[in-house]
Structure 1
Amino acid sequence: MPDSLDTSTKQKRISKAEINELPMIGWDGPVEILETAEAMADAVARLENETHLGFDTETRPSFRKGEYYPPALIQLATQKTVYLFRINKTNTLAPLLPILESPDIIKSGVAIKDDVKELRAVEDFTPAGFAEITELTVKLGYENRGLRPLAALLMGGRISKAAQVSNWARAELDDKQVRYAATDAWISRELYLLAKAEMESK
């Protein structure tokens, strides 16, 4: 995790041009891709011992009016590993419910309500333990709200958005998609920890 900065001098707003000048950062650790309900259940059994997970989802983009696709991927990040759950292949959230409904496991992310809403449209569940990062960063005075600018402000790096509008429901994810999805989940964990630490230091 990056060293904490003096919050009195920390930059609170950043432009796209400034972000583009920063060095690229990304998750380069282990990634597990789960494509069956059985594999997902096995991974969830391990994740149930965690207290905090970075959370994100990916959905195949729609380019026509009225076109809609359900979320294809759920990403969960621990300190050491990122798990990619390909729910488009199982067509059920059932294996993940012990995580999604646990009030004891923090799932942190940006615009997390939208992700949860989309998932509940696939299969209704009772969400618990979800934490919105921007609720912390707004209180700390940060003006930007997206994952990319917040990563730039709090972590001093630039995350790639190259795979953002790719087809997340394809038969096999390519390496660029895997790294993109894993990075978003990892960043979602790190940003929460950094914002929480800054909040507690005030």
Structure 2
Amino acid sequence: MLMTDISKYQGKIAKDEIMALPLRAWEGETELVNTPEAVPDALNALSAARVLGFDTESRPAFRKGKYYPPSLIQLATADKVFIFQLSKLEFPDGLCDVLSNPAIVKTGVAVRDDIKDLQNIKSFPEDGFVDLGVVAQALKLETHGLRNLAAKFLGFRISKSARCTNWANPRLTKQQIAYAATDAWVSREIYMAMDDCGLFDIQPN
């Protein structure tokens, strides 16, 4: 069900407007899941969630035609962010179950590409995904990216300074962990804000 007045979210937001907003990052608990022993508890928490923020990170390719598979999968519950470090951990079967579960909303921006990249590592039938950028386009919003949507719906900005770092490093920096966790957390927060505004039903398409 659409909200009665969507005009406050329409129109572009200028870069200087975004830069004037307060900078926010995820400040809650983050768990790096990089051993088989850590997987079951993480999957139990994710399987119990109704909405998960979703994102992946891949080592950047600076040459044309070069490609690196995702090194991280980030999933955010209401109170914790789990970062699966695929550079150190085999893709868990149970994680495929979460990504295939239609009863669990997985939400982010440009999720189609992320899903395809993950399916190149391990085949699974994705379900329950909601792309915030696609929702914004369908509602004729001029803001589609994660940073801009955060500014529009949450009233703060997020840092993108760690975007092009090497996510395949076995030992991630504190900045990388904070960046990866923030993107998943913000995706969930935007979804919840959109839902609170009545922009879509809670059930995914």
Give the structure-2-normalised TM-score: 0.89
Mapping for residues 77-156 of structure 1, pairs under 5 Å: 77-156=76-155
For 2:32, the equivalent position in structure 1 comes to 33
Contact 2:134 2:144 in 1 (8 A): no
For 2:157, the equivalent position in structure 1 comes to 158
Task: Tell me how far apart the structure 2 counterparts of residues 50 and 150 of structure 1 sit (CA, whole Å).
Answer: 23
Identity of aligned residues (%): 45
Q: Secondary structure at the match of 1:88?
A: coil
Q: Secondary structure at the match of 2:65?
A: coil
Residues 1:183 and 2:171 aligned together: no
For 2:203, the equivalent position in structure 1 comes to none
Give the structure-1-normalised TM-score: 0.90
**Cα deviation per residue 1:16-43 (whole Å; 9 max; x = unaligned)?**
2221121101111110111013312321
Stretches of 4+ aligned residues off by more than 3 angstroms: 6-12
Task: Tell me how far apart the structure 2 counterparts of residues 9 and 115 of structure 1 sit (CA, whole Å).
Answer: 30
**Aligned residues: CA RMSD:** 1.9
Contact 2:9 2:141 in 1 (8 A): no
For 2:195, the equivalent position in structure 1 comes to 196
Q: Secondary structure at the match of 1:186?
A: helix
For 2:71, the equivalent position in structure 1 comes to 72
Amino acid in the other structure paired with 2:161: A
Contact 2:21 2:151 in 1 (8 A): yes
Contact 1:73 1:86 in 2 (8 A): yes
Task: Tell me how far apart the structure 2 counterparts of residues 135 and 70 of structure 1 sit (CA, whole Å).
Answer: 23
**Cα deviation per residue 1:161-202 (whole Å; 9 max; x = unaligned)?**
01100001102111101110110000100111111222359x
Q: Secondary structure at the match of 2:39?
A: helix
Amino acid in the other structure paired with 1:70: P
Stretches of structure 1 that go unaligned for 5 or more consecutive residues are 1-5
Task: Tell me how far apart the structure 1 counterparts of residues 69 and 94 of structure 2 sit (CA, whole Å).
Answer: 17
The number of aligned residues is 197
Contact 1:136 1:195 in 2 (8 A): no
Contact 1:133 1:192 in 2 (8 A): yes
**Cα deviation per residue 1:68-114 (whole Å; 9 max; x = unaligned)?**
11000000001111111101212324241121111111001111111
Contact 1:60 1:70 in 2 (8 A): yes
**Cα deviation per residue 1:47-66 (whole Å; 9 max; x = unaligned)?**
21111100000001011122
Contact 1:56 1:185 in 2 (8 A): yes
For 1:3, the equivalent position in structure 2 comes to none
Query: Does the C-alpha gap of structure 1 residues 52 and 103 become closer, same or farther in structure 2, counting only changes over 3 Å?
Result: same
Q: Secondary structure at the match of 1:176?
A: helix
Q: Secondary structure at the match of 2:118?
A: helix
For 1:174, the equivalent position in structure 2 comes to 173
Contact 1:60 1:69 in 2 (8 A): yes
Task: Tell me how far apart the structure 2 counterparts of residues 63 and 125 of structure 1 sit (CA, whole Å).
Answer: 29
Give, in angstroms, the shift of residue 15 of structure 1.
2.0
* Greater shift in the superposed pair: 167-176 or 89-98: 89-98
